[in-house]
Amino acid sequence: MTTELITLRDPRSPAAEAYRTLRTNLQFSSLDHPIHTLLITSSSPDEGKSTLLANLAVTLAQAEQRVIVVDCDLRRPTLHTVFGISNEHGLTSALLAETADLPLAATEVDGLLVLPSGPLPPRPADLIGSRRMDALIARLRSQADLILFDAPPVVSVTDAAVLATKVDGVVLAAKSGKTRRDRAREAVQLLQKVNAHVLGVVLTNTRAEHAAYSAYS
């Protein structure tokens, strides 16, 4: 377990409770439009998107849902470190080799599996936008109730916008005291241009490690 997983390290903390609140908000937001595949990204690097995704995944699994986390940040992958698993094989291995069995790694949380990034490719956006990626997402949907995808910042590279067209919903992470409003607005506009279903914005790094969720307007 790493310090990023506060939902496991200190489940009674305000931050852990905030992640459970986020889980509830997302569940209610998907009543009209069921969410089985969810992308989490940010406007800029180091805004806490991967930590957000990992802790949300833990709370979802603790609610007895089958959850798969996929590290689609093929530029700066971190989920293998957060969950303490190997990154020798992962998403890129599955896409390039098209193996029968996906290299999913178990975690200490029942019902939570991780597909790490695997070796970094030379052209991440091309791989994420490929038909092989579509087929892989279809395979994952048959194995879990919810799949969470971690992607690079949407303003920096095209990867997140490409992936946003393939999922049911997108959540944007914004860091308190760091994310500029114009940058966040640009990120949402880029997602809207590809007709992504933007569910909301999560504010990270607030006081007392508290995270907040609000619908974007």
Residues found in the chain:
217
Type of residue at 211 = A
Query: What's the confidence (pLDDT) of residue 191?
Result: 96
Q: Which residue has the higher pLDDT, 142 or 210?
A: 142
Type of residue at 44 = S
Query: What's the confidence (pLDDT) of residue 2?
Result: 65
pLDDT at 214 over 80: no
- What's the distance, CA 143 to chain centroid? 17
**Is there a contact between 7 and 58 (Cβ–Cβ < 8 Å)?**
yes
Query: What's the confidence (pLDDT) of residue 32?
Result: 76
pLDDT at 213 over 60: no
Query: What's the confidence (pLDDT) of residue 216?
Result: 39
Query: Residue 209: pLDDT band by 50, 70, 90 thresholds?
Result: very low
116-139 residue pLDDT tens? 999 999 999 999 999 999 999 999
pTM of the entire predicted model: 0.92
> Span 144-159, mean pLDDT?
96
131: helix, strand or coil: helix
Type of residue at 74 = L
Query: What's the confidence (pLDDT) of residue 179?
Result: 84
pLDDT at 91 over 60: yes
| Residue ranges of domains in the chain, CATH in brackets | 6-212 (3.40.50.300)
Query: Residue 29: pLDDT band by 50, 70, 90 thresholds?
Result: confident
In angstroms, the Cα distances linking 67 to 45, 52, 63, 191 are 25, 15, 10, 24
pLDDT at 100 over 60: yes
Task: Look over the chain and give the mean of its residue pLDDT values, rounded to a whole number.
Answer: 90
Query: Residue 178: pLDDT band by 50, 70, 90 thresholds?
Result: confident
Query: Residue 48: pLDDT band by 50, 70, 90 thresholds?
Result: very high
Share of the chain above pLDDT 70, in %: 92
What is the C-alpha to C-alpha distance for residues 82 and 92, in angstroms, rounded to an integer? 19
